[in-house]
Amino acid sequence: MSVSDDVILCTTQPKIYFAMVTTKLKSKFLVVRVTDKTRTKFHNKAQRYGNPSDVLREIVEAFNDDRLVIQPPVTRKESLYVVGN
């Protein structure tokens, strides 16, 4: 039975095998301050897809991988948005 680096193989007698997938150790925090209303709205919406922390983690990873596109709102924060030609 082959096992990758992120799987821990355990065995018990009589030769019952099971695999437990492990995730990479997360040791850093990313903190942002928002209003109570914004936090509540995010948590309510995010819970439809999993834990809010999982959704926020995916957003950060998507941004890092250039998979996230942010559309500017009507009132722009100029430093966050790139305006097309």
* Rounded average pLDDT over 19-24: 60
Q: 7: which strand partners?
A: 21
Q: Is the pLDDT of residue 18 over 70?
A: no
Higher-pLDDT residue of 19, 37: 37
Q: What is the pLDDT of residue 16?
A: 55
Coil/strand/helix, residue 18 = strand
pLDDT tens for each residue of 31-82: 999 999 999 999 999 999 999 999 999 999 999 999 998 887 777 666 666 6
What are the structure tokens assigned to 19, written together?
A: 């695999």
Q: What is the pLDDT of residue 55?
A: 93
Contact call for residues 10 and 18 (beta carbons, < 8 A):
yes
What are the structure tokens assigned to 28, written together?
A: 């850093």
Q: What is the pLDDT of residue 20?
A: 54
